[in-house]
Structure 1
């Protein structure tokens, strides 16, 4: 009997948290994908799901690796209450496909590159276009690159990204919460 009582008083084993992993990918990882990473992470934080979702970003190219986000990206984010100052650009590593649940491309060129880098059909299916999650913007397909434009374009692009990320998060949140409650 004593052994049974001890078992009843024991703490239930803690389940290992396996977070949902999403990466946003653009060309150089200094404009669009950092915006998406910061916005999506803010949505996750607002829902108090930080330990259940890992959000990253990367570029298909390597020319900005280690650099901060473009100053106009950081400024556009700050105007909307986000902090993008800690971002450092990195290149997407195709070896990471197996560790990711979703790879979000910001335009068709990134979509093509990522799918070409994916080693299996299952990993290719992880690649999705950001605007495809927002029915009102899906017809646009691509989030325009604001790099050669002005602050107004950075603000416009951030608005597009915010809307699409909200729709993406709404689609993922129930499954994430269900996984968090198991």
Structure 2
């Protein structure tokens, strides 16, 4: 049975699609399934932001086939691990939890690494440089997650 990981941000166009693509590149996809979602339904069915697609491409990843979707209660049943990009989205996810078991599945992505910053900043209103910084943060966290998944 595959381990299933869900990456979640607000619109599912910037951070979580990058996190999905990055983690997929670091795990055996026969053993680990990775998806992404947003807590808001602003962009359902759309591709990730062109700047996320560009920064992923720069690092050898193709995320342009992904399509945005909204996080739902069913995700608690479908996924083993749910990673929120920031505290606001963490709270939005937790507000839909049915029980403690659901809540235990949810973590902040950057809690997986030992750094001072605990939230992946939203690069949407930032420059191209902001997407590169976000990529670097997510990449480090995904290294830690991939390592943990290999040891489980």
* TM-score, length basis structure 1: 0.82
CA distance in 2, matches of 1:118, 1:133: 21
Large movers: runs of 4+ above 4 Å: none
Superimposed CA distance per residue, residues 60-116 of structure 1 (whole angstroms, 9 cap, x where no aligned partner): 000100111000000010111111110110001112211210000000001111111
1:105 to 79, 84, 100: 84
CA distance in 2, matches of 1:157, 1:22: 19
| Secondary structure at 1:51 match in 2 | coil
Higher-Rg structure is 1
Partner residue of 1:56? 35
CA distance in 2, matches of 1:76, 1:60: 23
Partner residue of 1:39? 22
2:51 to 72, 77, 86: 72
Instruction: Pick the structure with more helix per residue.
Output: 1
Corresponding pairs, count: 152
Superimposed CA distance per residue, residues 36-81 of structure 1 (whole angstroms, 9 cap, x where no aligned partner): 000000001xxxx211111000000001001110000000101111
Partner residue of 1:156? 133
State the superposition RMSD in angstroms: 0.8
Superimposed CA distance per residue, residues 8-49 of structure 1 (whole angstroms, 9 cap, x where no aligned partner): xxxxxxxxxx100100000000000000000000001xxxx2
Unaligned runs of 5+ residues in structure 1 are: 1-17, 176-182
